[in-house]
Each structure stands twice: as structure tokens, then as C-alpha cells.
DNA sequence: ATTTATTTTTAGATCTGTCTAAATTTATTT
DNA sequence: AAATAAATTTAGACAGATCTAAAAATAAAT
């Protein structure tokens, strides 16, 4: 269990996110995600390769090694547990937690995190609906579908929101849509790809294509 | 409200501690406290002077400016609030909190700390009995005296323990002495400067000079 | 298959924080 | 008051992380 610098951790986490379920990540994509320059990425890739955290051949992109993925899941665990703590215990709103967790995630004391997990009651998802890896790095990969693909009249539960910024939160709160909300799509309109949805017994409302694209749902409770 | 690096913050905090109530701190003393080298201290002092955080003339030692003290109190506030959180909410023991707080203290988000303070119920002292500065940097300077100077038969309350390591905790727990414990000194023995103390209605016990020197008490409740 | 455009890497610089070894200043002794 | 000792600063080096500008490799277009 070596320790990695804040910078190394930010690179590892970004690669994990970009590579999805086993893709390869390019220098430019990573530089863009981290708001840094391609030359800096190449430098860091050499360092992380030397530490055996990723596979990398010059010009061929990179992907995390098994150890790299393990490290990434540890960072994501810390990030999401802190987000849960901030939202649940300190009453931060949904769009404020990410920024603070971005710093707290780098305090990597195993006991701290495991005790925090226990204190929080072993939460399964963070305030954005993203799953929290457990102490051994296991993460539940529940199959979510985008609201744009949910069959008509099929009841589903909001499990996740892609964009996690302040403006979308404002809209979702106004629409009374949050993680865990049950809803169904009544009708889709081809003209602007807007759709009419019904939440519980509330009157049906219309939501835009842009909003629907950011809402992910799952079946059952 | 500028932001300072972890390194700068560690220097500022150490100077604050060493200078006590307005003394001047020497290069060697600071190097020793931070387990670094005198040359590194001189380098950093130049930087902190340029940022107007301290007064410093070469060869003449240094002391924090008003702004430097303000920054120091902010760091101490964060440190002690996290220590309280770790002990009270995550059930860390007394000697474990410091190390973790040493890292958490550098996450300097004002809202995070003020919300944490509120969540914890605005605690006045950390798990070692040290006072916690409030949101505006005020800190209560309660006059504590060392157990070695407490007059005989004078009841007092344990308010603070100087050494905060694991071995002293073990001994204090065995003796049933903790922050808030009421006790009085029954007798002092010149031979080894040990003393007999009485805690509440428990039978009197003997404690060593070394232990007494690390216990600080205050009068009244 | 060349040429052109894009992506990626290298070369060289800068900034922070640290170190060792040498020089300088201040304090202490004789 | 000199000489010696101790404390402090300077000089020069190095590692981590970043950048700009130039070179090299790969991909796309003609
Ligand atoms: Mn981060
Ligand atoms: Mn999240
Ligand atoms: Mn620290
Ligand atoms: Mn403390």
C-alpha cells in the first residue's frame, strides 16, 4: 500500500473515468480532462508506468494496470464517502460536495476512511447516485439506462445524474426530481425530442431533451 | 483570504506554537520542531516574509505578523475540530487523532469548517483539552497550571495533557485520569518528587514526577 | 503515395521545497 | 580583545510538477 501524490492521484482517477470499462485513453483526452497540457501528461505517464500503475507504449495511449485500478477505486471510495458525509451530515447541497471532496479524497488513511464508512452506515451510493466502492474495492455496476431510452409507461427510479453542476440542480429541484424518485415516460415528441413524464401521482410534466439526456434510471426498487 | 501550501502552513503553525505569547523563534528551534534543516527554514522564512506573514531580519529570529497569527489560528481551528470529530464521531482514541488531523487541517474550505463546527455542536476544546478557536479566530486562553504547582488539597479539573502520545494515554487510562477529571494532590514526596493524588471518591494513588509534569489543571468547573 | 494535418513526445525552462557543504555572522570563552 | 564555538545564511544541487516551443510519429486527405 504505497502512497501517491495528490497529482498522481488526480491523473489516476481521471484515467479510470475516461477509460470506462477497459478502453484506452489518449494523451490529449487526459490533458483536456485535467485542464493541463499534453506534455505534462506524457511526463506523468512515464512516472506512472515506472510505478507499474499503467500500461503505456509511446504514441499508443494508456490504460490502468490492475494495481492502477485498485488505487483508482480507493480514491473514488474516499471521494464518494466524503461527498456523502458533506451532503448527509453537514447539509451541503448536491452541487457543492464535489469541489470539497476533490481535496478530502487525497487524505489517504485507511482507518479514517473505514471508520467514516461505518459512521455513515455503509452507504451504497453518493449524493449523485454514483456507487461507492467498499473497503476491498468492490463496486456495484448496476445497469442504468438513460431516460431517453426508457420504454414508454415503464416505471423506473432515478439513480444517477450525469451533469452535477448548479444549474441542473436548480432545474431538478424545481421539477421535484431527485435520486430515488419513481417516474415513467408518458410520451415523446419528435419535434424537439422533449418528453412528458409522470412522477408518482403528480400531474405529468414536460422535460427537454437536454435534461433527459442527463438523467439515468434503473428498474425495480 | 489567500491560500497557503501545506508546507507553508506547517511552518506557520510551528512558529505559532514555538513563539508562545509573543516570543521570537530561532532558525534552529524551528528546524528541530519540523524535523528539517536550518537552511530550509531560512529559505522558507524569506518566502513567508515576502508574503508578509512574519517579521524577520537575518540572524535575528522571527515572529508572526498579525496576518500570520490569523492564518495560524485558522490552521489550529481546523486541526482541533477534526481531532474532535475523529474522537467523538469516529471513535478514534486520543493518541490517534493528531496524525490524521495533521493532514485534514490543510483542506481549507471555510464553509466546510464552519459547517463541521456546527455539526459538532461548537466544541470548545479538542480531545487533548486544547481550546478551539472560533470562526473569527478567537481562542480562550484559560490559565492552566501544572499539576506539580497545584497547592495541596486544592480540587482542580484536568484540562490538558502536554505529551499526547500512546504510552501516556495507556497510563492515564489505567489511572482513570482524563480531561475533565476532578482531583486533588494529597501529598508530595521530596525524594523522587512523586505525589499522591485523589480522584473523586476513589482511593488515593501515587503518580510519578514525569506524569505530573504532563498534566495541566484549572480551578472551578 | 505524397502531402498535409493532428497527435504525441522531447528539449529546455521555471517554480516549489528540500538538501549538503561552505561562508558568514553572532555569541561565548579565554 | 582575540580566539573559539555556535547559530545562521548563502551557494549550488536535485526531485516533483508544470509549461512553451520544436521535433517526431501517426493519421487523414488529396
Ligand atoms: Mn483531487
Ligand atoms: Mn459524486
Ligand atoms: Mn500538517
Ligand atoms: Mn490536540
Q: How far is the CA of A98 from the centre of ligand 2 (A)?
A: 6
pLDDT higher than 90, residue B22: no
Q: How far is the CA of B97 from the centre of ligand 4 (A)?
A: 8
Nearest partner of B207 among B219, B220, B184, B221, judged by Cα: B184
Tell which of A3, A106, A115 to mutate to test the B interface (max B CBs under 10 Å): A115
The whole-model pTM stands at 0.88
| Contacting residues 53-72/A vs strand C (CB within 7 A) | 56, 58-61
Residue of B nearest to A83 (CA): B112
pLDDT, tens digit, 9 for 90 and up, residues B134-187: 999 999 887 889 999 999 998 998 998 998 888 998 999 999 999 889 999 999
pLDDT, tens digit, 9 for 90 and up, residues A84-121: 999 999 999 988 999 999 999 999 999 999 999 999 99
CA dihedral over A63, A68, A73, A75, signed as positive or negative:
negative
> φ, ψ for residue B122 (rounded to 5)?
50, 60
Q: Which residues from chain A sit within 8 angstroms of residue B104, using beta carbons? A: 104, 107
Q: Which residues from chain B sit within 8 angstroms of residue A99, using beta carbons? A: 109
Beta carbons of B111 and A89 less than 8 Å apart? no
What structural domains does chain A harbor? 6-64 (1.10.10.10), 145-219 (2.30.30.90)
**DSSP-assigned states of every residue in chain B:** -----HHHHHHHHHHHHHHTTT--B-HHHHHHHTTS-HHHHHHHHHHHHHTTSEEE-TTS-EEE-HHHHHHHHHHHHHHHHHHHHHHHTS---TTTHHHHHHHHTT---HHHHHHHHHHTT--SB-TTSPBPP-TTS-------EEGGGSPTT--EEEEEES--SHHHHHHHHHTT--TT-EEEEEEE-TTT--EEEEETTSPPEEE-HHHHTTEEEES--
Q: Which residue bears the cell 506554537?
A: B17
> φ, ψ for residue B121 (rounded to 5)?
85, 30
Half-sphere exposure of B119 (CA within 13 A, CB side): 21
Neighbouring CB atoms inside 10 A of B74's CB total 22
Q: Tell me if A12 sits within 8 A of A48, measured CB to CB.
A: yes
Coil/strand/helix, residue A4: coil
Q: How far is the CA of B85 from the centre of ligand 2 (A)?
A: 23
Q: How far is the CA of B91 from the C1' of D19 (A)?
A: 45
- From first CA to last CA, the distance across chain B in angstroms is 37
**Rg of chain B over CA atoms, in angstroms?**
19
For residue A45, count CB atoms less than 10 angstroms from its CB and return exposed for 0-12, middle for 13-18, buried for 19 or more. buried
Residue with minimal CA–C1' distance to C24 is: B59
Q: How far is the CA of B49 from the C1' of C25 (A)?
A: 20
Tell which of A79, A85, A90, A92 to mutate to test the B interface (max B CBs under 10 Å): A90
Which residues, numbered 30 to 69 in chain B, qualify as contacts with chain A under a Cβ-Cβ cut-off of 8 Å? none
pLDDT, tens digit, 9 for 90 and up, residues B72-127: 999 999 999 999 999 999 999 988 999 999 999 999 999 999 999 999 999 999 99
pLDDT higher than 70, residue A204: yes
pLDDT higher than 80, residue A220: no
Amino acid at each position: 500500500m504505497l502512497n501517491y501524490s495528490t497529482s498522481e492521484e488526480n491523473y489516476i482517477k481521471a484515467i479510470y473515468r475516461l477509460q470506462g470499462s477497459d478502453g484506452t485513453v489518449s494523451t490529449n483526452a487526459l490533458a483536456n480532462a485535467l485542464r493541463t497540457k499534453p506534455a505534462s501528461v506524457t511526463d506523468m505517464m512515464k512516472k506512472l508506468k515506472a510505478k507499474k500503475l499503467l500500461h503505456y507504449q509511446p504514441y499508443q495511449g494508456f490504460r490502468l494496470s490492475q494495481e492502477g485500478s485498485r488505487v483508482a477505486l480507493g480514491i473514488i471510495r474516499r471521494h464518494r464517502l466524503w461527498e456523502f458525509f458533506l451532503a448527509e451530515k453537514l447539509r451541503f447541497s448536491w452541487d457543492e460536495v464535489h469541489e470539497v471532496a476533490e481535496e478530502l479524497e487525497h487524505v489517504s488513511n485507511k482507518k479514517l476512511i473505514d471508520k467514516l464508512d461505518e459512521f455513515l452506515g455503509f452507504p451504497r451510493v453518493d449524493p449523485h447516485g454514483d456507487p461507492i466502492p467498499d473497503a476491498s474495492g468492490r463496486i456495484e455496476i448496476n445497469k442504468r439506462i438513460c431516460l431517453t431510452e426508457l420504454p414508454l409507461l415503464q416505471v423506473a427510479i432515478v439513480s444517477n445524474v450525469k451533469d452535477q453542476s448548479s444549474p441542473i440542480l436548480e432545474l431538478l429541484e424545481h421539477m421535484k426530481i431527485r435520486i430515488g424518485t419513481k417516474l415513467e415516460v408518458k410520451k415523446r415528441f419528435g419535434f424537439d425530442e422533449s418528453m412528458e413524464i409522470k412522477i408518482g401521482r403528480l400531474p405529468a410534466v414536460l422535460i427537454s431533451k437536454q435534461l433527459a439526456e442527463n438523467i439515468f434510471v434503473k428498474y425495480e426498487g
